[in-house]
């Protein structure tokens, strides 16, 4: 059961990182 939460945590971190990178990319792209 602990492994499930670890995987869920890793997936959440990856998703947040990708979303942040995408938003940052869009922000820099729109600015220039």
Residue 12's pLDDT band, with cuts at 50, 70 and 90, is very high
**Strand, helix or coil for residue 1:** coil
**Three-class SS of residue 32?**
coil
The verdict on pTM exceeding 0.75 is no
CB count within 10 Å of CB 6 equals: 10
Q: What is the SS3 assignment for 27?
A: helix
Task: Examine the pLDDT at 8 and tell me if it is beyond 70.
Answer: yes
Q: How confident is the model at residue 31 (pLDDT cuts 50, 70, 90)?
A: confident
| Token representation of residue 13 | 């971190």
Q: 9: Cβ–Cβ under 8 A, 6 or more apart, which residues?
A: none
């Amino acid at each position: 059961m602990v492994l499930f939460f670890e995987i869920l945590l890793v997936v959440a971190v990856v998703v947040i990182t990708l979303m942040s990178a995408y938003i940052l990319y869009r922000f820099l792209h729109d600015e220039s």
